[in-house]
Structure 1
């Protein structure tokens, strides 16, 4: 640890010498690129700590209770940060489907008739969510989390205004794509922020609040969008989103604090260099020979390496992607199912997305609290925390089985025109199970790869968003060929086949993690 006898008082130094800091997220470890890791999610080991302590120019936290360390923030500040992040993750996904009820009017205004164009108009936003993380994650590893949230929101508002002013389908699609790219910031690095500030036994609730936005936004958006479009026009959907985003531009700049440890310590090192004139002072997490270009190159490929070279991330991302794609396939059916089979008007059709939102809120409350309760019970019993606890069969099997149950119920009751409340109940069941699957997997990967939390989230987001964008392109054709009953039954059988994946990793996950440790 640094001996700042010329700049720091001796009492502070004594505390510094007694502590070392273990990285708790992906981005904290981004700058530790010269040292091999012992195991994902662990510290770099005693050798690195001894090396750091023997170097008098290393800048670290001022003891275990350093108020600058985000893990030591008061709970009010932590939850304020999480609340703002959760709202941002709700606002940006609104753009994905809030204008969906107005697609027929847009097609008529721009003289388009292709059903593929109509579907892609909805999906192109999700493509932005797929490609945005590949840029956002590496930038955040260099400049920190807060600038990406703040300036990403500014760009999101600008692109939303441009979308509202679009005078062609091509212009509309281009700016919708850019909206998705800019709006992906809170979805990409939110889990890293949570890992920075929350202990493992409280992450379930925090992750639930944060993860609800990307799923709940596309559900509640069409509700307001349907009535707004009926009363005015589709352009007012984007004006409303721009206003909401604009409000939170100011809120995010005023309230969001940097949580990324390497950036905080790097600023501290710069301040001390200025105060002392010692240009050799550097952050504990600063790479010895790492330029910004090298950091960016390493960071930009990390999500892809995790996705391709670690079976846990690959299969879990596949599970999430397929279930997320199924959700968007269901979204494509709501407009024609409830309009044509049940006679719902343009405004009321938007309300048919509410059951999905209700189911997700039920899933968040149930599975988020249950997940944290399991971790706390293990800790109370003196059992060391294992990430695989998040994949307990008590969580993953019930949530996985509710997906096909909900799909079968929705598909066959809509096929035969049973009262509209019954297929909606099927959607509630499916959505609650979807949140159970999502929360179990997100929390597991966050615990399994805490040093690479943002990169893991980016890997999940890429595959999930690609599925959400591309699967609906063939969805209507599938339903036209198979019908609602067998079409949703096919999706149900696919989701049923995925249920054993978390169970396999619950049993063998620790062994697999130790075996597959790519250089990141």
Structure 2
């Protein structure tokens, strides 16, 4: 993907238009620039980019500068969900060491990390829109490293639970503001493909975790899972310090205005995003309330985030129960039970290839035709989401009847394909609908899906005890079937809902 060529093409197309921190080609998005060019012309003290080719504008950064940041961000986003599930094969050993036999505690040891994802976005998203992306990345990586080491040396279950929760709060950072970083520097024609790569973390991390952790637990014990994670987090942190650069336009323009005030001696220079002398406390509280407003007052954000949340909850419910299913029904040991998660990985990889290519082609075609809108992101989800109920039916009944072990694994692969179709599409659709507030809308999405990811696994053992694997997974599948009509609804009525005065939100 040539991001330099993409930048040049878009810059040329906008050469005769006024410059905004977000490209003119995003005019079809719901978010407009905060100050119109006519106002800037009337007020020469407003600081903006120096033309469409300003090298300080992240959209105009060279490809190597964009890609080194995007690659490290993708690894960072992969690593933190990996930590959520890598020790899953060792949960039984942890309970044995600390003298517990509770099946709910076994699930809670996994899900409490995801519970941290519920808290973190409401702190991280507003701070990133106030102080920028990079300080949050670095601070959270350091905290994640500290709390992961603390997990490795925990002496009892309460300590392990507390440190896991704190690690989850810090670890959610790249999941919360990663989509914002992509929106900061990649034009919409290529954004969905890049976001599909970034979004590998939330679904590939939990998949790879048990595969890698199974044999590590068998060979070295559960504590070494956390030591390996700590070493990896430390290495990645060094790379991010060397490669990350601030990309959030309001922060960059605020710094530019500060620099120009010193250079010119003109104290009246302000960024075009500066809305006057508001106290930092008011700005933070406004940013803090934004994800909540988006989630509970926008039908689009709520329903799309709900679909992603249900799917994410199913993912963790399966993760916390699959080890026992394959050990009890198929006689797998800890290492082989970890390998059973490969089905998810294969399904997700196929989904990534198909969805990533499809959404970019649709976006490029619709842009060339002058009719691009956020709803242009929906076709892969419209067709792919049906794989979720199909996969759940397939997995549940083949495992119940103890058909050959490859059959339930194929079912999880089908589910993994549908998972990617939902996750990648929801992320791109919401970001395109609220470009400037990408971190806030992602925070709303992450909050709801993490809540489901933390709570649903706790109900898993009881549900399977009552209904069995067949009807238990069928119940999940029936709920997913109802949710599959959500993208169809927004494909037809999404634009009308987004532009209706009733749903125009005051987000400043």
Contact (CA 8 Å) 1:403, 1:429: kept in 2 or not? yes
What's the counterpart of residue 277 of structure 2? 289
Q: Does 1:365 align with 2:364?
A: no
Map 1:77-476 onto structure 2 (within 5 A).
77-380=65-368, 382-392=369-379, 395-476=380-461
Q: 1:276: how far off?
A: 2.3
1: distance between equivalents of 2:134 and 2:145? Answer: 17
**Secondary structure in 2 matching 1:451:** coil
Contact (CA 8 Å) 1:18, 1:63: kept in 2 or not? no
1: distance between equivalents of 2:142 and 2:227? Answer: 14
What's the counterpart of residue 59 of structure 2? 71
- Which stretch of structure 1 is more off in the superposition, 276-285 or 334-343? 276-285
**Secondary structure in 1 matching 2:218:** helix
- Paired positions, count: 490
Map 1:46-57 onto structure 2 (within 5 A).
48-57=36-45
Q: Deviations over 1:405-430 (max 9, x none)?
A: 11111111100110000110010011
2: distance between equivalents of 1:18 and 1:403? Answer: 45
Q: 1:82: how far off?
A: 1.0
TM-score (norm 2): 0.93
Q: Deviations over 1:222-264 (max 9, x none)?
A: 1111111111111111111110000011100110111001111
Q: 1:459: how far off?
A: 0.4
Per the alignment, do residues 97 and 313 of structure 1 end up closer, same or farther by CA in structure 2, a change over 3 Å counting? same
Q: Deviations over 1:380-405 (max 9, x none)?
A: 3x23211111112xx22321211111
2: distance between equivalents of 1:285 and 1:170? Answer: 46
2: distance between equivalents of 1:290 and 1:357? Answer: 48
Contact (CA 8 Å) 2:29, 2:433: kept in 1 or not? no
Per the alignment, do residues 383 and 55 of structure 1 end up closer, same or farther by CA in structure 2, a change over 3 Å counting? closer
Q: Deviations over 1:188-229 (max 9, x none)?
A: 001111111111110111001100111111110111111111
Moved over 6 A (4+): 15-18
2: distance between equivalents of 1:518 and 1:178? Answer: 32
TM-score (norm 1): 0.91
2: distance between equivalents of 1:88 and 1:24? Answer: 27
- Which stretch of structure 1 is more off in the superposition, 362-371 or 73-82? 73-82
2: distance between equivalents of 1:106 and 1:21? Answer: 54
**Secondary structure in 1 matching 2:358:** helix
Q: 1:24: how far off?
A: 6.6
Q: 1:18: how far off?
A: 6.9
2: distance between equivalents of 1:55 and 1:476? Answer: 63
Contact (CA 8 Å) 1:39, 1:514: kept in 2 or not? no
Q: Deviations over 1:36-61 (max 9, x none)?
A: x998322346xx42222222322211
Contact (CA 8 Å) 2:21, 2:249: kept in 1 or not? no
What's the counterpart of residue 21 of structure 1? 20
Contact (CA 8 Å) 1:16, 1:62: kept in 2 or not? no
**Secondary structure in 1 matching 2:33:** coil
Q: 1:494: how far off?
A: 0.8
2: distance between equivalents of 1:376 and 1:507? Answer: 20
**Secondary structure in 1 matching 2:199:** helix
2: distance between equivalents of 1:464 and 1:294? Answer: 28
Structure 2: which 5+ residue stretches go unaligned? 1-13
1: distance between equivalents of 2:224 and 2:45? Answer: 56
1: distance between equivalents of 2:83 and 2:477? Answer: 28
Contact (CA 8 Å) 2:344, 2:412: kept in 1 or not? yes
